[in-house]
Amino acid sequence: MYRIAVIGGDGIGPEIVAEGRKVLEAAADRFSFDIRWEEFDIGAERYLETGELLTEEDLKELSGFRAIYFGAVGDERVLPGVLEKGILLSLRFYFDQYINLRPVRLLEGVTTPLAGKSPRDIDFVVVRENTEDFYVGVGGRVRGRDRATHEIVRNLYNIRFGIDCESDADEMAYQIGIITREGAKRVITYACDLARRRRKKLTSVDKANVLTDMYGLWREVFSEVCGNYKDITTEFAFVDAVTMWFVKNPESFDVVVTPNMFGDIITDLGAMIQGGLGLAAGGNINPGGTSMFEPIHGSAPKYRGLNQANPMATIWAGSMLLDHIGETAAAEKVLAAIGRSIKDGVVTKDMGGMSRTSDVGDYIAALVKNM
Ligand code: IPM
Ligand code: MG
């Protein structure tokens, strides 16, 4: 029996997670285990009513679950960043989910915008660091009168630009990224272990030619860790070049490991080449703690309640959740059922089909039971 916490969240979140649950229930039936679900009312609605994003109590309760199944947050009534940082990023940080695992895999029957590429060519995994880099939230805006509290930054700015921040018209903003040796080591180790179970190739994506301090340390750790994995082929790539190679030679990638922010960017590109955001799933993983699985697309408030959104990314994330808790046969069955649903043309509008959100969920759940 597994206790799974559910955070539907905003926009299309609740309806796509409902389909995911349907499919995971079917998998539980088929493979003889039980899931006990508990829903958490976390998201824009509660925030607007009570001002609460995540409470201490939420976090304490959530930590008692085997995993969290997450829909999406984001709402047009709330300023950008409030829900994203106050809920999604807070969960990732609180539970120290230092791996953001994002498979980029073109399933049979899905159209990729990359001409001449087939499922044989597009099958890699991005391991995005999930707790450091420019996501640590260290930053600020400085006006002249605040100079005392930001002395160091003010001095740097003055040296570089000759502006003294004396008057309030002089203003600057800064945001600092952090990479720690331990933070880099743990995610790179995870990526090496993953590469060992796959095609044994690992690419580090960074920008060590410009952000030499942070990504210099990252590269040093990469080389050290990979020294213990002689059976794996490794390479360094700059993030700008990688956006080219993802498009031109996706077949040359197996496992890609990258700091947080570049991981955010290149996985949206990855989503496109695997057939769109409707198919892109992710896991926020703490191998020794509470992990959380989600589609990587957002809350798409425009489509809320229309029964039109594509639930496949969420269902795929559900498959990753099953894999994570050790139900590997069930996980594989769910992924195979998604593939079959695509082959059978039971897909939503974004993938050129006529099916509704709940039709796709029903169909995949039935396949999981009977296929
Ligand atoms: C993602 C999203 C988030 C991120 C946002 C919503 C905070 O873009 O999961 O990729 O930047 O990590
Ligand atoms: Mg993103």
CA angle at 169 for the pair 167 and 173, rounded to the nearest 5°: 105
Give the residue with greater pLDDT, 315 vs 159: 315
By the 10 Å C-beta count (0-12 exposed, 13-18 middle, 19+ buried), 331 is classed as buried
pLDDT at 174: 82
Give yes or no for residue 167 having a pLDDT over 70: no
Q: What is the mean pLDDT of the chain?
A: 94
The CATH code of the domain that includes 59 is 3.40.718.10
The CA–CA distances, whole Å, from 26 to 9, 93, 320 equal 23, 32, 15
| Inter-helix orientation angle 13-30/312-324, to 10° | 50
Whether 171 and 245 share a structural domain = no
327-368 per-position pLDDT tens digit: 999 999 999 999 999 999 999 999 999 999 999 999 999 999
Task: Among 152-161, 255-264, 313-322, name the one with the lowest average pLDDT.
Answer: 152-161
Catalytic residue among 41, 164, 213, 240: 240
Which of 132, 154, 175 lies at the terminal end of a domain, its last residue? 175
pLDDT class of 144 with cuts at 50, 70, 90: low
89, 98, 101, 175: residue to mutate for ligand 1 pocket, most atoms within 8 A of CB: 89
Give yes or no for residue 208 having a pLDDT over 90: yes
Measure the N-to-C terminal CA separation of the chain; round to a whole number of Å.
Answer: 23
Give yes or no for residue 148 having a pLDDT over 60: no
Q: How far, in Å, from the CA of 264 to the mean position of ligand 1? A: 6
Ligand nearest to the CA of 93: 1
Q: What is the token pair recorded at 248?
A: 């031109």
Please check whether residue 168 lies inside any domain of the structure.
yes
pLDDT, mean of residues 296-302: 94
pLDDT at 139: 87
Decide: pTM greater than 0.85.
yes
Closest Cα to atom 8 of ligand 1: 264
pLDDT, mean of residues 238-254: 98
The CA–CA distances, whole Å, from 117 to 215, 242, 279 equal 32, 17, 17
pLDDT at 10: 97
Whether 52 and 76 share a structural domain = yes
> Which percentage of the chain shows pLDDT scores above 70?
93
242/310 Cα distance (integer angstroms) = 28
Whether 238 and 221 share a structural domain = yes
pLDDT at 142: 75
Give yes or no for residue 172 having a pLDDT over 80: no
pLDDT class of 145 with cuts at 50, 70, 90: low
The CA–CA distances, whole Å, from 278 to 83, 209, 292 equal 21, 34, 18
Give the H or E element holding residue 335.
helix 328-343
Q: What is the token pair recorded at 153?
A: 């930054």
Please check whether residue 130 lies inside any domain of the structure.
no
197/258 Cα distance (integer angstroms) = 19
Give the residue with greater pLDDT, 201 vs 155: 201
The CA–CA distances, whole Å, from 251 to 199, 246, 254, 281 equal 11, 8, 8, 20
pLDDT, mean of residues 265-290: 96
Helix (H, G, I), strand (E, B) or coil at 371: coil
Q: Are strands 67-72 and 291-295 parallel, antiparallel or unpaired?
A: parallel
Residue 296 beta carbon below 6 angstroms from any ligand 1 atom: yes
360/355 Cα distance (integer angstroms) = 6
Which of 202, 228, 257 lies at the terminal end of a domain, its last residue? 257
Number of domains the chain contains:
3
Ligand nearest to the CA of 282: 1
Whether 161 and 98 share a structural domain = no
Helix (H, G, I), strand (E, B) or coil at 160: helix
pLDDT at 164: 61
pLDDT, mean of residues 69-97: 97
Residue 264 beta carbon below 6 angstroms from any ligand 1 atom: yes
Please check whether residue 200 lies inside any domain of the structure.
yes
Whether 91 and 224 share a structural domain = no
27/34 Cα distance (integer angstroms) = 9
Residue 332 beta carbon below 6 angstroms from any ligand 1 atom: no
Whether 75 and 171 share a structural domain = no
Closest Cα to atom 6 of ligand 1: 84
Query: What residues contact 326, with CB distance under 8 A and at least 6 apart?
Result: none
Expressed as residue numbers, the domain containing 210 is 112-124+179-257
